[in-house]
Amino acid sequence: MRVLFADAKLERICTQEAQMKRKLGGPVAKGLRRRMAELYSANSVKDLWDGPGKWHRLSADRGGEISGSLSANWRIVLSPADDDVSEVAVDSIEDYH
């Protein structure tokens, strides 16, 4: 799947090991590496649903986005959420709980 990023800073965090660890810490960085590998290996969003990342659709004011678990509280948030889409944008990495 083609992965785009909301901005250059987020792209560095998602693609550079040192930035991941510096900004997110070891456990969250480990989860991010796993979710990014899933994104790059998937053909479309529908391939994520049965994967290990606890991928799920968001609702209410976050409708149209999907989220995958990085740790107990941290999530990677993507858009769009159409199952047949082969291109996604990473919107954020956050603890929205």
Q: Where are the domains of the chain?
A: 2-95
Out of 3.30.413.10, 3.90.640.10, 3.40.225.10, 3.30.2310.20, select the CATH number for domain 2-95: 3.30.2310.20
DSSP 3-state of 78: strand
Q: What is the pLDDT of residues 57-74, one digit of tens each?
A: 999 999 989 999 999 999
Q: Phi and psi at residue 25, in whole multiples of 5°?
A: 90, 160
What is the pLDDT at residue 85? 87
Whole-angstrom distance, CA of residue 67 vs CA of residue 17: 21
Residue 33: its H or E element: helix 26-41
| 2 contacts: CB under 8 Å, gap ≥ 6 | 86, 87, 88
Whole-angstrom distance, CA of residue 56 vs CA of residue 67: 5
Which residues in the chain come in under a pLDDT of 50?
none
